[in-house]
């Protein structure tokens, strides 16, 4: 095991060992077939979900009466280590306050918490606060105490408060923080061990906030990996449109200049606002060549049809999984499918497969079923842009594959979500064969010399112009993935920093190495 300090790592050129487009569409939506899928999860029966709301009426009593606006934008900003270690939330707050949106037409209301330290002086770390953006500044409304931002009650109370105190023709919600896709969900409150919101907890919060009767215009995730079919189905009863990323987001996240656009177009619906957000986000591409950006706008009322079509496809695939030859065929397809949130065996836990890429690789075997999936996908995803070298479909679906010590914990989470019975069964049957024989860890896709030793590299992003890779390491004694960038056609890489390995949750961006960091290679 070789050890080096980060001071040496910062000057290191990683060298390979010798052994080793914008997309937009808008179309009329015909009547959508259901493919037999009906949402079966009932939030009222989520008795296992923690629900501890704060006192909405007390906060409302401290809020001056507000006039009706065209649009209220709610930002649930769980600062987490993104803020305490790098000030990432503060950077976005400066974008928000500097966006110059028309506040006569639009409210922007923040709910902040979840970080051990806030760079922004106006936001304390010892309590969650309600803050209105007014005249380019933060105006504190009320504090509600130290609340777990990973508790369904905390989010539900924010939504109930906003409905009561900030009336608007349309209301949109943006969830800001880390994201881990279908299994891990969203958020990581530093103050609490259970500081994330699973999809079940998100749905319960929406249900308790009454969103079934007054849907959000847009639900946005400024977080990694949340543009999934399962997220879309979960949110479909509570919002009209979903705006989210298939890929890992860079630490800077979205470009909040889109708020200015909304102020100039206050009657915009969720699709139009989502397109503006997407365009502003993609316009930030090029700041760093290693950022593989993706953002899509999904029409939620047809998302169940996509899950139904995946179930029909899964029904055909189950027969093949039962045979050795059929399983090997499907394992090869899955291994080659564009996947997001994967990495080294330390953190390859998310298993989010691009639906379009999966479908096209299965077309030769199940043409009719694949046609149904791609038709349903095209109805659901109305706008999608990315900087990937692969053609993307705008949404992923969970498909188990990555290395993990306990794959059945993830399968248990998936079963609880109420997705297609056949698609859920496919995950269990595929996993049973995949992990039946003490499957060896994937060997990595490249080799490189780091700190004078040969290390396996695992692809984690493939933007136009190069590739981003991760190598297993320990940073200050904790499991981590070193992040390495290789420009296209260049065997010399650049060591950018590291990302933590916190189970299912994938870190947004990466952390630069400091001189004092101690790095070990296994």
Distance CA 220, CA 74 (A): 10
pLDDT of residue 465: 83
Tell me how far apart the alpha carbons of residues 253 and 500 are, in angstroms, rounded to a whole number.
18
Query: Residue 25 domain-assigned?
Result: no
Consecutive H or E run containing 175: strand 168-176
The enclosing H or E element of 161 equals helix 152-165
- Could you tell me if 415 and 323 lie in one domain? yes
* Predicted pLDDT of residue 449: 83
Among residues 304, 325, 354, the one where a domain terminates is 304
Does one domain contain both 471 and 368? no
Q: Are residues 222 and 78 in the same domain?
A: yes
**Which phi and psi (to 5°) does residue 304 adopt?**
-60, -35
The stretches in the chain having pLDDT less than 50 are 1-13, 15-30
| Phi, psi for residue 506 in degrees, rounded to 5 | -100, 130
486 and 505 in a single domain? The answer is yes
Do residues 410 and 427 share a domain? Answer: yes
Q: Is residue 46 part of a domain?
A: no
Final residue belonging to a domain, choices 280, 304, 328: 304
Beta carbons within 8 Å of 474's beta carbon, 6+ residues apart: 480, 519, 520, 522
Residue 51 lies in a domain: no
Query: How many other CB atoms are there within 10 angstroms of residue 23's CB atom?
Result: 15
How far is residue 414's CA from residue 470's CA, in Å, rounded to a whole number?
A: 27
Q: What is the pLDDT of residue 1?
A: 30
The answer to whether residue 123 sits within a structural domain is: yes
> Is 190 in the same domain as 297?
yes
* Pair (220, 99) in one structural domain: yes
- Amino acid 29: pLDDT: 45
Do residue 333 and residue 235 come from a single domain? no
Specify if 402 maps to a domain.
yes
Q: What is the pTM of this model?
A: 0.89
Number of domains in the chain: 3
User: Among the three residues 240, 275, 304, which one is the final residue of a domain in this structure?
Assistant: 304
Which SS3 state, helix, strand or coil, does residue 432 take?
A: helix
pLDDT, tens digit, 9 for 90 and up, residues 200-247: 999 999 999 999 999 999 999 999 999 999 999 999 999 999 999 999
End-to-end CA distance of the chain: 5
Statement to judge: residues 399 and 446 lie in one domain:
no
DSSP-derived 3-state class of residue 508: coil
Examine residue 164 and state whether it is found in any structural domain, yes or no.
yes
**Residue 433 phi, psi (nearest 5):** -75, -35
C-alpha atoms less than 13 angstroms from C-alpha of 106 in its C-beta half-sphere: 25
Structure-token pair, residue 358: 């999966």
Query: 192 with 151, same domain?
Result: yes
Assess whether 141 and 194 both reside in one domain. Answer: yes
Helix (H, G, I), strand (E, B) or coil at 333: helix
Rounded Cα distance between 180 and 484, Å, is 21
In 3D space, the residue among 449, 331, 485 whose CA is nearest the CA of residue 18 turns out to be 449
Residue 237's domain is classified under what CATH number? 3.40.50.11970
Q: Domain span at residue 501? A: 2-20+441-521
Residues 6 or more apart from 50 whose CB is under 8 A from it?
148, 151, 152, 153, 194, 201
320 domain-assigned: yes
Q: For the packed helices 367-380 and 303-321, what is the interaxial angle rounded to 10 degrees?
A: 160
Q: Which residue matches tokens 């309590």?
A: 127
Cross-strand pairs, 221: 175
CA distance 74 to 222: 12
488 and 353 in a common domain: no
Angle at 223 between CA 219 and CA 227, to 5 degrees: 60
In a domain, 342, yes or no: yes
């Amino acid at each position: 095991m070789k050890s080096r300090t980060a001071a040496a790592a910062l000057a290191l050129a990683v060298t390979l060992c010798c052994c080793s487009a914008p997309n937009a569409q808008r179309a009329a939506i015909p009547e959508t077939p259901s493919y037999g899928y009906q949402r079966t999860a009932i939030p009222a029966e989520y008795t296992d979900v923690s629900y501890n709301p704060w006192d909405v009426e007390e906060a409302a009593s401290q809020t001056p009466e507000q006039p009706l606006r065209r649009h209220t934008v709610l930002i649930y900003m769980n600062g987490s280590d993104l803020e305490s270690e790098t000030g990432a939330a503060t950077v976005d707050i400066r974008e928000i306050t500097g966006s110059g949106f028309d506040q006569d037409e639009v409210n922007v209301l923040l709910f902040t918490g979840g970080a051990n330290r806030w760079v922004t002086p106006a936001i304390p770390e010892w309590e969650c606060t309600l803050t209105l953006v007014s005249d380019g500044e933060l105006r504190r409304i009320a504090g509600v105490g130290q609340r777990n931002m990973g508790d369904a009650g905390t989010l539900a109370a924010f939504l109930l408060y906003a409905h009561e105190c900030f009336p608007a023709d349309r209301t949109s919600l943006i969830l800001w923080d880390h994201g881990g896709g279908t299994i891990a969900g969203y958020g990581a409150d530093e103050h609490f061990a259970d500081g994330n919101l699973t999809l079940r907890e998100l749905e319960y919060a929406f249900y308790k906030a009454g969103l079934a009767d007054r849907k959000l215009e847009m639900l946005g995730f400024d977080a990694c990996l949340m543009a999934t079919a399962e997220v879309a189905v979960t949110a479909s009863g509570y919002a009209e449109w979903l705006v989210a990323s298939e890929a890992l987001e860079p630490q800077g996240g979205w470009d909040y200049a889109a708020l200015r656009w909304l102020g100039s177009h206050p009657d915009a619906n969720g699709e139009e606002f989502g397109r503006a957000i997407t365009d502003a986000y993609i316009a930030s591409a090029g700041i760093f060549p290693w950022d593989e950006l993706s953002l899509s706008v999904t029409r939620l009322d047809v998302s169940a049809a996509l899950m139904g079509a995946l179930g029909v496809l899964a029904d055909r695939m189950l027969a093949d999984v039962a045979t050795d030859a059929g399983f090997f065929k499907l394992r090869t397809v899955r291994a080659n499918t564009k996947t997001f949130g994967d990495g080294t065996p330390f953190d390859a836990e998310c298993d989010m497969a691009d639906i379009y890429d999966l479908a096209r690789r299965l077309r030769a075997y199940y043409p009719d079923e694949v046609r149904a999936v791609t038709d349903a996908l095209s109805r659901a995803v109305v706008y999608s842009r990315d900087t990937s070298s692969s053609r993307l479909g705008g949404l992923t679906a969970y498909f188990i594959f990555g290395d993990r010590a306990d794959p059945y914990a993830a399968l248990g989470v998936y079963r609880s979500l109420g997705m297609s019975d056949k698609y859920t069964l496919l995950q269990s049957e595929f996993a049973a064969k995949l992990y039946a024989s003490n499957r060896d860890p994937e060997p990595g896709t490249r080799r490189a010399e780091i700190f004078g030793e040969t290390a396996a590299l695992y692809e984690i992003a493939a933007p136009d112009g190069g590739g981003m890779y991760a190598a297993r390491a320990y940073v200050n004694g904790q499991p981590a993935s070193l992040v390495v960038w290789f420009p296209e056609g260049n065997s010399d890489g650049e060591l950018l920093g590291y990302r933590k390995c916190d189970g299912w949750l994938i870190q947004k961006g990466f952390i630069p190495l400091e001189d004092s960091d101690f790095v070990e290679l296994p």
